Amino acid sequence: MTETTLDTPSHRWWNSRALSRFMRHRLAIIGTAMLLLLTLACFAGPHLLAYDELFIDLRARFSPPLTGDHYLGTDPMGRDITARLLVAGQTSLLVGFFAMILSTLIGTVIGVVAGYYGGRVNAALMRFVDAFLAFPSIFLLLALAAFINPSPVMITVIIAVTSWMEIARIVEAEVKSLRERDFVMAGRMLGLSNTHIMFRELLPNMVGPIIVAATLTVARAILLEAYISFLGYGIQPPLPSWGNMLNGAQQYLDSAPWLAIVPGITITIAVTSFNFIGDGLRDAFDVRSEPT
Amino acid sequence: MTSNRITRRGTMQMMGLAGAAGLFAPNLLVSRALAAAPDAPTGQIIVGFSQEPTVFNPLMPRIEVDDGVQLSLFDALFRISPEGEFIPALAAEVPTIENGGLSEDGLEWRVKLRDDVKWHDGEPFTAEDVKFTLELVVDPNFRSWRTTGHDLVRDLTVVSPTEITWRMEEPFAPYMAILVETMMVPKHILGPEEDRNNAPFNQAPVGTGAFKWGSRTAGDHLELVANPDYFGEGPYIERLIYKYIPDLTVLYTQFKSGDIDIAGSQYITPDNYEEAKTLPGKVVEVVPSPTVESLFLNMERPQFKEKAVREALYAALDKQAIIDALYYGLPTPTESYLPQQSFFYNPDLPQHEFNIERANQILDEAGWTRGAGGIREKDGVRLSFTNSTTSGNHLREQAQQFIQQTFAEIGVEMTISNKPPAVMWGDYWTNSEFDTVIVGIVFTTGADADVTVRFHSGAIPAQDGAGSNTGQYQNEEVDKLLEQGTSTFVPEERKEIYHQLQKIIRDDLPLLPMFQYATVRGHKEGIMGIVPNINTRIDTWHAAAYYWDN
Amino acid sequence: MARYLLKRLGQSIVLLIIVSMIGFFMLHLTPGGPLSQYALTPGMTQETIDRIAEQMGLNRPLPVQYLDWVWRLVQGDWGESYRDNQPVLSVIGRHLFATLLLMGSSTAISIGIGTWIGIRGATHRYSAFDYVATVGAMVALSIPTFWFGLVGIYIFSLELGWLPAGNMYEIGNGSFLDYLHHLIMPSVVLALVNIAIWSRYMRTATLDVINQDFVKTARAKGVSERRVLMKHVVGNALLPMITLAGMQLPNLLSGALVTETVFTWPGMGRLFLDSLGYNDYPVVMGLLMFSAILVLLGNLIADLISAAIDPRIRLS
């Protein structure tokens, strides 16, 4: 499914060729810039605003954007949407980021082990991956969310649990193709432990594809959070997340369309940034992968 | 609302009236409509429901909208008027002591039936069907939704096709109200079935009601057709269609656009009331509902053991702001668990006052001091708890967040933990696993004021009790009053008892009463015969009387 | 071939067992249950709920319930919905039509538009069109579908009043045009992501072909570029397309779920959400198995067709 031109163990991801190729990728630079701005706004912005994201003012409910200090208006509780949007960004970005870390870890470990040992271990682990893939992801997400108290940490875990399979497959394929190479043989002959060979020798050669997949996983995780929170199974109020700000917005589409429009645009910007960066990384590492 | 007036004096007062109404058939209800009703059923009416009616055997567990459909297909022995009077339906008269229907102690029942009723398949309805129904509801193999009251019935005897008698094991005042909610099913169809839980009848019901089963497109709509042989008033329309619209916003949009004729359960959302009022060609009314919204406490939690805490929380509950801002001023603030229209309602309960200072003062005096994060604590107990409700109920979620803020001002931490319906109202609720819940409950059974299952200390499921006292409220005085209430038959005496009960509960605050719901109902101009009835769960309780006035 | 099929079948059955076990136990271990919806019925007591649970066999040990469910399933009995006592298969069947209609029209839209964008992008590589298409596809993949739907409703239903905001047809109408009218917005919304995916695929596939010798030769021979493209590109690109179409099958359930929710479309996604909300186990399990079977079937068909079209792929 995925091929790579990485040939020798010395080919490291931080080499200048990849970096310079990334820098020449215009979309990737735009994506990085957008993401940096957004992150900065989300983490520094709330301190500069006149309103707290939790401050309720029932007299000011449904103020349209640009009412007084409410730059983006207020929600049905009279809370400042700007403040909520930025704090929601912290939640959503952190959920996305940590879900990526966790799913990359799970996927990589399973993929490396399955690919390296082959045979029965491979068959068992890959059937496990297939089983997870055979589940409609939304089923897993919603069933787990109903099962567990949906705190941001649990939502992160749930998302990670449902999105590690692709990385596992990519890594497994990579390891299989690298397994019989000379440097692995050499490692075995030198008496290096399997763990050492797997994680010290093989893994560095797959950093490119893993980083690309991980970047796209962040994008996916942010979207997934939005989906489950929109359906009401995700992060619970009053803690804002981009998804739960949209929950209920449909009801007010006629009278207060900004409730839906503002968070939606923000999610799109954030996810687009990650997709742009992922695209740039893919070119930089010369990873050829098919969209799934 | 009234009680079951099966008593000597009460019977004389109330049944006299109901009996008289019975003589004129149930047209008391449709007198307003009678003048212009068409001779033959004409036209159709589409009622929009936001939940899907799926249960058509009226004896099986059901939700509101199932009720709405079943009431068009079936009849009980009696029905209850908006004023709370019992009116004969399948029965020829309401049993009273003077007409010999009831013994003086209320234990012996003799019910005379109409002789002109036919099932939708043409078979005559007889006392055998009543006997079959009352036996089926207590059949241990049948998924009956309620056995309360029925399990006291003994010696069911068919005297003649139009007369049946039985004896009650012990006096049980609410039984009349329960019979109103017990619709009769045909013995000739269900009787021979081996498995009545899965009988074809359950998906193609045959009743005695004003409408016959037409067809069902599951997940979409249900069509009933006029029963020309209906024994009562009506029906005046050819087809009655119940359309399932799974979203309240869409329900309203379709009402606005005229796609549905009546915006049925769960009606128009409060935020659309202002606009709905101004719609041309539509009649929109605010109708009180028996549902009382409260902040329900789990009394076994250490935080709520002390009355001062409950008082402080109640004082910090800004009901009026919630009602005015979030519910557009529609509901009525209340101090009782009973609807204000109830015969038993106690109007003299102390009035709630939103007062943060007082709330703080109460807690200070009770020795709850502010600790880490400004949260009050005492003897190692922090005033911190979760609050839950069904996720997706936006107005309630907003109310929650608002309450959260005012509670924070008195050093109380309330965390929101909402759950999908199946989780929320499963063990979490019934087995008292919650801290607090915001919930709208109809505390009573039909028109009766008996709340034994809600407040009796023997009705706590989490403590192996039989009932639904999920707040785990225990109060000996309350127990005593509840027991008196069900065995007292004189309405005025019962009223006394239930007034006292409401006073104690208001004082004790096992739940913080917020408001009694009002629903915004709408229908097209020109539909006549729509009469709200707070004693029933749903607006379509008497669709037989609907007709188009064109 | 037969051996291959048998092997695949065996693997699929193992997978189905794993999926059904995980699904079944996860569902049943979720707090709450199908009777919760009656908990607030006036006069409902815990004993009544317990008695009914007992009658319905919900109190038996989970492994027993699971084996019972499996045993019935093997005999072709998918059980009955707890909500409306209809056989699960007929419940699913009813919603399947709505979902197939939506997925079908949206797939048609996305293949049509995606193919056009992809081929044009490849033949006009690095043109403004190609660039816009590339960026557009990436943005399209980043838009939450449900939000796109909300914006669509806001613009086309509420502001312009051109299209209905939801449902599959008007009550009492239900003509072909009426269905079409209701179908436009949800299928376009749902197609958005797929247009992006298809167009990227098509572009890559076309580029692969364009750069191959035989195309260059054909062009050199003076065969019109258009004809070469139509013949070879479409021929060669068909393979990944079919694979992708196979991979789309499982989306029947999850892909349309949010779109169906936004547009109150009476399809399988909504059914799933409603059934999950009420712990209607038989229906949820039915949907799960149905969709898992589709996934496996989709994969198998994609592999088989690939093999049939491309002799280089050997089934092993």
| Model confidence band, residue A208 (pLDDT cutoffs 50, 70, 90) | confident
Tell me the average pLDDT across B534-549: 89
Interface of A with B (CB under 8 A): 54, 56, 58-59, 61, 76-77, 146, 149, 232-233, 236-238, 247-248, 250-253, 255
Q: In angstroms, what separates the C-alpha of C5 from chain B's closest C-alpha?
A: 38
Tell me the average pLDDT across B467-490: 92
Q: Do A268 and C254 touch (CB under 8 A)?
A: no
The pLDDT tens digits for C282-312 are 999 998 888 888 878 877 777 777 677 665 5
pLDDT for B451 equals: 92
Residues 6+ apart with CB under 8 A from B435: B297, B298, B301, B303, B385, B386, B387, B388
Residue A169 half-sphere exposure, CB side, CA atoms within 13 Å?
17
Residues in C closer than 8 angstroms to A276, CB to CB, are: 138
Q: In angstroms, what separates the C-alpha of A186 from chain C's closest C-alpha?
A: 31
pLDDT for C236 equals: 67
pLDDT for C248 equals: 65
Cβ of residue C163 closer than 8 Å to a chain A Cβ: no
The Cα B63–Cα B51 span in angstroms is 9
End-to-end CA distance of chain A: 10
Interface of A with C (CB under 8 A): 27, 127-128, 130-131, 133-139, 142-144, 146-147, 219, 223, 226-227, 230-231, 246, 249-250, 253-254, 257, 260-261, 263-264, 267-268, 271-272, 274-276, 279, 290-292
pLDDT for A33 equals: 94
pLDDT for B359 equals: 96
Cβ of residue C135 closer than 8 Å to a chain A Cβ: yes
C39 to chain B: closest CA residue: B425
H-only helix segments in A25-151: 26-44, 81-117, 119-134, 137-147
Tell me the average pLDDT across A229-248: 85
Q: In angstroms, what separates the C-alpha of C195 from chain B's closest C-alpha?
A: 29
The Cα A269–Cα A271 span in angstroms is 6
Local structure of B387: helix, strand or coil:
strand
Residues in B closer than 8 angstroms to C49, CB to CB, are: 430
Nearest C-alpha neighbor of B538 from the set B181, B234, B191, B231: B181
Query: How many inter-chain contacts (A to C, CB under 8 Å) are there?
Result: 131
pLDDT for B9 equals: 38
Q: Do C151 and A264 touch (CB under 8 A)?
A: yes
Nearest C-alpha neighbor of B267 from the set B547, B4, B520: B520
Look at residue B246 and tell me whether its pLDDT is greater than 80: no
The pLDDT tens digits for B82-121 are 888 889 999 999 998 888 888 888 899 999 999 999 999 9
10 Å CB burial of residue B150 (0-12, 13-18, 19+) is buried
Q: Radius of gyration (Cα) for chain B, nearest Å?
A: 24
Local structure of C247: helix, strand or coil:
helix
H-only helix segments in C153-233: 176-210, 213-220, 225-228
Look at residue B297 and tell me whether its pLDDT is greater than 50: yes
pLDDT for A48 equals: 85
Lowest mean pLDDT among B125-129, B157-161, B460-464, C308-312: C308-312
Tell me the average pLDDT across A114-143: 82
Residue B436 half-sphere exposure, CB side, CA atoms within 13 Å?
30
Mean pLDDT of chain A: 83
Instruction: Retrieve residue B52's tokens.
Output: 């899907």
The Cα A246–Cα A256 span in angstroms is 12
Query: How many inter-chain contacts (B to C, CB under 8 Å) are there?
Result: 153
Residues in B closer than 8 angstroms to C274, CB to CB, are: 246
Instruction: Retrieve residue B201's tokens.
Output: 């009848």
Percent of chain C residues past pLDDT 90, beyond the cut: 9
pLDDT for B504 equals: 97
Q: In angstroms, what separates the C-alpha of B419 from chain C's closest C-alpha?
A: 9
Of the two residues C160 and B136, the one the predictor is more confident about is: B136
Q: In angstroms, what separates the C-alpha of B318 from chain A's closest C-alpha?
A: 12
pLDDT for A287 equals: 64
Instruction: Report in angstroms the alpha-carbon separations of C99 from B458, C231, C264.
Output: 50, 33, 12
pLDDT for B514 equals: 96
Q: Do C144 and A223 touch (CB under 8 A)?
A: yes
The pLDDT tens digits for A42-68 are 999 888 888 888 888 888 888 888 888
Of B62, B197, B218, the CB nearest to C86: B218
The Cα C101–Cα C108 span in angstroms is 11
Mean pLDDT of chain B: 88
Q: What is A44-289's CATH superfamily?
A: MetI-like (1.10.3720.10)
Q: Do A238 and B325 touch (CB under 8 A)?
A: no
Instruction: Retrieve residue B431's tokens.
Output: 């087995």
Q: Radius of gyration (Cα) for chain A, nearest Å?
A: 22
Amino acid identity for residue B47 in this structure: V
Q: Do A250 and C292 touch (CB under 8 A)?
A: no
Question: Domain segments of chain A: what residues?
Answer: 44-289
Of C148, C153, C284, the CB nearest to A253: C153
| Model confidence band, residue B196 (pLDDT cutoffs 50, 70, 90) | very high
B424 to chain A: closest CA residue: A146
Nearest C-alpha neighbor of C150 from the set A292, A268, A237, A35: A268
Of the two residues B120 and A125, the one the predictor is more confident about is: B120
pLDDT for C310 equals: 62
Interface probe, candidates A132, A250, A274, chain C, greatest C C-beta count within 10 A? A250
- Domains, chain B: 7-28+75-199 (3.90.76.10), 34-73+209-281+525-550 (3.40.190.10), 291-518 (3.10.105.10)
| Model confidence band, residue C252 (pLDDT cutoffs 50, 70, 90) | low
Angle subtended at Cα B318 by Cα B314 and Cα B319, rounded to the nearest 5 degrees:
90
C281 to chain B: closest CA residue: B422
Peptide bond into C63 cis (omega under 30): no
| A254 DSSP assignment | T
Note the pTM of the prediction, 2 decimals. Answer: 0.82
Interface probe, candidates B252, B406, B419, B438, chain A, greatest A C-beta count within 10 A? B419
Look at residue A9 and tell me whether its pLDDT is greater than 60: no
- Domains, chain C: 88-309 (1.10.3720.10)
The answer to whether A262 touches A72, Cβ cutoff 8 Å, is yes
The answer to whether C247 touches C294, Cβ cutoff 8 Å, is no
pLDDT for B3 equals: 39
10 Å CB burial of residue A15 (0-12, 13-18, 19+) is exposed
The Cα A143–Cα A138 span in angstroms is 8
| Model confidence band, residue B377 (pLDDT cutoffs 50, 70, 90) | very high
Q: β-pairing, B547-548 with B86-88?
A: unpaired
Q: Do A76 and B394 touch (CB under 8 A)?
A: yes
The Cα C98–Cα C253 span in angstroms is 12
Look at residue A8 and tell me whether its pLDDT is greater than 60: no
Cβ of residue C154 closer than 8 Å to a chain A Cβ: yes
